Amino acid sequence: MAHPKRRVGKTRRDKRRTHDKAVLPQLALDPTTGEYHLYHRAHWYEGKLYYKGKVIIDKTAAEAAV
């Protein structure tokens, strides 16, 4: 079984762990709907799928046609 030759110091250990932290996801405000969503992700709002402020899929029109 592998084992270290020398003890790892507190400073070295803490330097390695500086990047281990939780980060809140960045949110964007849609200009059309006023809804918050994740960056670079499409989002649903009132039966429509929006991306960059434009409607991509409209489920309400599809349901009315059936």
26-66 tens-digit pLDDT: 999 998 889 999 999 999 999 999 999 899 999 887 677 66
pTM of the model: 0.59
- Residue 4 confidence (pLDDT): 85
d(CA 66, CA 60): 10
d(CA 26, CA 21): 15
C-alpha dihedral (16, 18, 20, 23), degrees to nearest 10: -160
- Residue 66 confidence (pLDDT): 65
